[in-house]
Each structure stands twice: as structure tokens, then as C-alpha cells.
Chain A
Amino acid sequence: MSDRIFAATRKGLFTIERRGGGRWEVSATEFLGDNLSLISVDPRDGTLYAAQDLGHYGTKFQRSDDGGGSFTEVGKPTYPEKPEGLEDRDAAGKEVPWNCEKIWAFAAGGDDEPGALWCGTIPGGLFRSNDRGDNWTLVESLWNEPRRKQWFGGGADMPGIHSICVDPRDSKHVALGISCGGVWVTRDRGETWDCRADGMRAAYMPPEQAFDPVIQDPHCVVQCRSAPDVLWAQHHNGIFRTTNGCEQWTEIESAQPSSFGFAVAVHPNDPDTAWFVPAIKDEARYPVDGQVVVTRTRDGGKSFEVLREGLPQQHAYDLTFRHALDVDGDGERLVFGTTTGSLWVSEDQGDQWHPVSHHLPPIHSVTFA
């Protein structure tokens, strides 16, 4: 069980620890005032990585080797010099900047490649480090893939990679979630890629393009650790699941009160159990009836429970972003944070929720550590 949580927010990084009597409280702060887009832990060695999104001074990567006690700035993903005269436009005709606008996804490589990290960014570049983040290289095979021109921004002006799933059985096998660009898979550590979003449906496109894999908007994609062929996606207009390693996705339509949202977490040892934090829908991004709930399925999406014990049920307008829900390594404890600065923890798979704070800055990312 994890007794510690990190929350990356609009105005700093917060450490939250479990005290006596099961009380969780903020125990430390770092980078106060700075916008953090992501916080993540390398499960191989416990190293903590925080991504800054400094409004004036750009994106930065910070690494902590002592569990968050101190951080050191490491290298940041940097796009290569754009060739003179090259025209690079997205599907909407907008010029794609060759500039790291946001660090939006992070994943440790496999156990057989120590020091290897993956990083996803807006405007759609995937980066790889082989030295714990000191140096990053753009994965040009994906950046130069012609179908990248079909991607477009979802929420942000430019497309971005927000989810990276490294197959625990085979570190060369990686799946990416891209808004809006579908799901992309490599089986050779990034030398070649293919779009694997068959079965996903885009309600925001004309009917004849609704099932085009390359324009899908998965908001978040997660992979079951013990059954890596099972991945869940909270998509822009629904929930999707694959049980065959992204070969085919199936829409899950049974979630109530809504299947719209950003975040999803899957139980590390049970591919049929997953959690979501729904909002009404894309043009009304707040909880149905102003009631914060978490939905949970234990049967692969055939049915959902609506979990609300301990969560506000009147005039609550919290929205949970895609990286702001996490489950611990045992699948028992969950945490989620919201744009309103609320953060709740559950120690029983979501049956009951305990408030940690309602006054944090807007929360972008949480992780157990």
C-alpha cells in the first residue's frame, strides 16, 4: 500500500502523506507558484519526475532522487531545428510549431532498459531518454509519419501525446494515446508505428469519418499491469476497452450518470475493474447535477457502480483532468484531484472517499509514490 501521494498543480507540487488514524494531509510543498503539468514516479527505482510549464520561460523537467526532498533540473525535450521552407500543418491547417509547448505524458521504460524514459508532448512529438532524462531525442519515426498531418488539437490548439503504455512483458511494445490522433502502437521500440484505434467512434466528426482511427480523441489510455492486452480509454465521447492489445476497441455504453470525462484508472491485477470520474459532456464540463461521483466497473464494463460516499452531492463543480486519478500498486487505494483544488483519497477501492483538501490550486496530475 502506498502511504504517499504527490499532486502537481497550477501553483506547485504538494506531498500528501498518511498519518496516524488514516488521516491524509499535506506534508510538504515544492515549486510554489509554478505551473506543473505532470508528476510521475519511475517504479523501477522510485525516482520522481516533475514537468514544469512556466508561463514565461517554457517547459522544464525536474528530477528527484530522494523522494521529493530535492529536485534537480534535467534536460528538457527539445525539437530539432525546423528545416528551412518546410511546411508543417495539422489537419486544421494550423502551422505546427516545432517547440515543446507542454510536457504531457511520461513513462518509464521496461525493466530491461534501465534509465530509459518516454515523454509525450504538445504539439505531438514523442521523446526518448536513455539517461534518466539528462538528454532527450525526438522519435523521428513518429514525427515524420505522414498520417501525423491528420492529427489536430483537442482542447489545446495543437495535438498532443498524453498517454504512454509500456508493455510490462516487452519493453519494445509501446502504445500511445493522442488527442486527437487515436492510439498508436510500436512493437520495435519506436522504429515503426501503426494507428490502432479501430472500433473507436468520434461523435464530433461527420458520420462518414466517425470511425476513422486517426482522428479519435482518447482523453486517457491506461493498461492493466497483469493483463497488458487489456487497455481502457476514456474518450471524448465515451468509454472504450480493448482486450487484444489495441487490435480492436469496443465501446462501453453502460456507464451512468455519464460516460464523458478525462481520467481512467485500471486495477493493476484485475483487468475488469476500472474507475472513471465523469462530467456531463464536452460542452458542460462539470458533474451531473453538481454531484461529484466516481464510477467503477468490476465486470469489464458490463455494469457500473456509482460511488458517492464522502463526495459532495450539492453544488459541486469539480472537474478531474486526465492525469489526476491514480490507483496504487495493490489496487486498493485511489486518489483524485480536481480543477477546483479538491483532493480525495479512498482506501477501499472507492467505496468511501476522504477529503484531503478543498483549497489546493487546480490539480493537473496525481500519483501514488
Chain B
Amino acid sequence: MVRVTFTANLERHLSVPAADVEGATVREVLDAVFAINEPLRSYVLDDQGALRKHVNVFVSGTQVRDRGDLSDAVRGDADVYVMQALSGG
């Protein structure tokens, strides 16, 4: 299982408990989270499904590079962190 953890800053707006989900790419992992927390989707992704400009995602310590298609690979035991970027603040 992949553990997905969200910046505590999001808690000001909605509930975002850490989630354990399956998925082989960032897209699959996030879709699995949104399946159990749909309101979260628009906080993380823009209208076209890309990562929001000022949101960063880290997979096992590495910041994801494909912010549009979210195709970066995720290993089965990875930790994924969804963070608020310093930019945009």
C-alpha cells in the first residue's frame, strides 16, 4: 500500500486524513484518494487535472516532475506527500 499524507495547511479548508491506497503512478494514487475524498480533488488539481501551480507532490522524497499527466511511477511501499509550495504564498 502507498501511504499518502497531506499538508496540515489543508485542514483549514477540509478534512484530509492520511490514506493508504493502491496505485502505480501519481495519477492512480491521487485518484484512489479522491475516490474516498472527492472534495479534495479541486484543492490539489486544476480544472484540467494537472497539479495546481503552487502544490507539490513528493514520492519517497523526490518531487514529481510530470505535473500535467502525473505519470511519475510510485512503488508499492512508497510514501507520498502532498505539500503546499512556498511559492504562491
Contact = CB atoms under 8 A, between A and B. Distances in A.
Interface of A: 33, 54-58, 60, 73, 76, 78-79, 81-82, 97-100
A58 B48 contact: no
Contacts, number: 46
Given A54-B13, A55-B54, A55-B89, A60 B42 contact: yes
Interface string B33-48: 0000001001110111
Interface of B: 9-10, 12-14, 39, 42-44, 46-49, 52, 54-55, 84-85, 88-89
Contacts of B55: 56-57
Closest 5 CB pairs of A and B: A57-B43, A79-B47, A56-B54, A99-B47, A55-B88
Contact of B48 (A57, A60, A79): A79
B43 to A, nearest CB: 4
Given A56-B55, A81-B49, 15 more contacts: A56-B54, A56-B84, A56-B85, A56-B89, A57-B43, A57-B44, A58-B42, A73-B13, A73-B14, A79-B47, A82-B48, A97-B48, A99-B46, A99-B48, A100-B47
B6 to A, nearest CB: 11
Contact of A78 (B12, B39, B47): B47
Contacts of B85: 56
Nearest to A57: B43
19 contacts: A55-B54, A55-B89, A56-B9, A56-B52, A56-B54, A56-B84, A57-B52, A57-B55, A58-B42, A58-B43, A58-B46, A60-B13, A73-B13, A73-B14, A79-B47, A81-B48, A81-B49, A97-B48, A98-B47
Contacts of B52: 56-58
Contacts of A73: 13-14, 39
Contacts of B47: 78-79, 98-100
A98 B42 contact: no
A16 B85 CA distance: 34
A56 B88 contact: yes
A54 B14 CA distance: 13
